[in-house]
Amino acid sequence: MITAKRENLKSFIERSPYQAYVYSYPHKTAYRPLTPPVKLADLWSKQDRQALFLYIHIPFCEMRCGFCNLFTTVTHNEDFVSQYVRTLQRQARQVKSLLGEVSFARFALGGGTPTQLPINHLETILNVASETMGANLQNIPVSVEMSPETADKDKLQLLRSRGVDRASIGVQSFIESEVLATGRRQTTAQVEAALTRMSEAGFPTINIDLIYGLPGQTVESWLYSIRAALRFQPEEIYLYPLYVRPLTGLGRSDKEWDDIRLACYREGRSLLLSSGYTQVSMRMFQQRENVETLHVTSLQPPCPVYSCQADGMVGLGCGARSYTDTLHYSNDYAVGSKEIRDILLYFIQTPDEVFEYANYGFQLDAEERRRRYILLSLFDDEGLNLTDYQNQFGTDVIAFPELSQLLSLNLTTQQNQILRLTEVGIEKSDVIGAWLFSDKVNQLMHSYEFK
């Protein structure tokens, strides 16, 4: 039985809506060592393996952004990168042998900055996905993250020739003083040149990431960056609020943050909607004509589409997470450079047989699985289908006490058995998401010691 939250939503939501990103559940800071370790062969044998999501993590960047708390390092040389790639190959062979017959419906290469890899290693990673894991990259949606400094012509041509149909680039701002304040070295000329190369390479979908709330940013300068991005007519734009997290560069500063983020969000949203974009979630906007047709024409033959509500992600690489319906698992997590380096060294030295087990993660009981389904469904524009929920879990979702509070505060609306966030609810997605966390997850997150 799911219990009610101790704190009323109204008082909880009156706090700043920008406390932490909520894009999945549970958060990685709720993971702990698994005792005993879980055999992956036993775990995955109980899963539907016909439409999985393959993710490969590359933990290398050319610089450490002041807002970044991702598992990535700027301290690496050619030998260290080569060792990491060889280890990832070993891990992939072990994991594939345990998965058995499997079909992948999507593949994403993230980080870090995957295009930070030398082109020969980048090609090796694509071979791991296609040859070792068996993902048909030419016939499924494939996304790769990149930066303006690393999106050179040869790498872009390689990615496009291997089936990558979505190129996502972290721009953050088109104003150099704003990105410089976060520790990034990029110039606006570099950004525009990279976007031009990406367009010329012919990716069906180009995504641009922007951040609002940066040091020195104003609502006017924020809208300038959005308009600069629109000149390149990207199929997708993500608008991220700045979060200042423990152990990051900005998190170590004594700066008091002027909270213009809500004004930036509202003005940015209005500009994109008036420019032909549809809002898919709090952060994601797609060109309106692209929403229904995205990827469909490239799928030959058609394959199942991975759903955010359905677990089934196989993660490879030191910072990757894997999701099944009962267990989410990964390697240890850190933000500090020394701690990340230690975890990477441990990963590189891992014997093959250790890759056969999950050693660190979070076990999802029935309550946590229902919470995850509800939370992720509400964050998507399709909303929470009450009939689908009842069919899957055998209970009426409206009996969930927190959802009735969302309805009473006009943060959600119900129509034709679909529960969706309202416009106000969408802008408060992250705080609503945090409020929906279970007591168990909250306790684990609060007791986690960042390193």
Task: Confirm if 379 and 23 have CB atoms less than 8 A apart.
Answer: yes
Q: Looking at the domain covering 9-21+365-446, what would its CATH class be? A: mainly alpha
Residue 111 is predicted with a pLDDT of 85
When pLDDT is cut at 50, 70 and 90, the band that residue 126 belongs to is very high
Higher pLDDT, 75 or 217: 217
Residue 264 is predicted with a pLDDT of 96
Comparing CA positions, the residue from 100, 130, 110 lying closest to residue 55 is 110
Residue 159 is predicted with a pLDDT of 98
Most confident of 22-31, 179-188, 210-219: 210-219
- Residues 149-179 have pLDDT tens digits of 999 999 999 999 999 999 999 999 999 999 8
| Percent of the chain residues topping a pLDDT of 70 | 86
Buried b (16+ CB within 10 A) or exposed e, 369-396: ebbbbbbbbbbbeebbbbeebeeeeeee
Q: Is the model's pLDDT at 70 over the cut of 60?
A: yes
Locate the domains of the chain by residue range. Answer: 9-21+365-446, 28-298
Question: How far apart (Å, rounded) are the C-alpha atoms in residues 168 and 146?
Answer: 6
Question: How far apart (Å, rounded) are the C-alpha atoms in residues 102 and 96?
Answer: 9
pTM score, whole prediction: 0.90
- Residues 359-413 have pLDDT tens digits of 999 999 999 999 999 999 999 889 999 999 999 998 888 767 788 889 989 999 9
* Average pLDDT estimate for 27-42: 95
Cβ-based neighbours of 398, under 8 Å, separated by 6 or more: 386, 404
Residue 251 is predicted with a pLDDT of 43
Q: Of 80-89, 180-189, 358-367, 409-418, give the lowest mean pLDDT range.
A: 180-189
When pLDDT is cut at 50, 70 and 90, the band that residue 74 belongs to is low
When pLDDT is cut at 50, 70 and 90, the band that residue 311 belongs to is confident
Q: What is the mean pLDDT of the chain?
A: 87
Q: Is the model's pLDDT at 68 over the cut of 80?
A: no
Helix (H, G, I), strand (E, B) or coil at 237: strand
Cβ-based neighbours of 310, under 8 Å, separated by 6 or more: 325
* Average pLDDT estimate for 411-416: 93
Residue 422 is predicted with a pLDDT of 96
Comparing CA positions, the residue from 381, 416, 419, 421 lying closest to residue 400 is 419
Rg of the Cα atoms in the chain = 21
Residue 1 is predicted with a pLDDT of 36
Torsions phi, psi for 58 (to 5 deg): -115, 115
Fold of 28-298: TIM Barrel (3.20.20)
Distance of CA 290 to the CA centre of its chain: 21
Question: How far apart (Å, rounded) are the C-alpha atoms in residues 62 and 116?
Answer: 7
Can you list the pairs that 399-406 forms with residues at least 24 positions away whose Cβ atoms lie under 8 Å?
Answer: 400/2, 400/370, 400/374, 401/2, 401/3, 401/4, 401/5, 402/4, 402/5, 402/9, 402/435, 402/436, 403/374, 405/8, 405/9, 405/10, 406/9, 406/432
- Residues 225-267 have pLDDT tens digits of 999 999 999 999 999 998 865 444 444 455 544 578 999 999 9
- Residues 265-300 have pLDDT tens digits of 999 999 999 999 999 999 999 998 765 554 443 333
Other Cβ atoms less than 10 A from the Cβ of 350: the count is 17
Question: Would residue 16 be called left, alpha or beta, if left means φ above 0 and alpha means ψ between -120 and 50 degrees?
Answer: beta
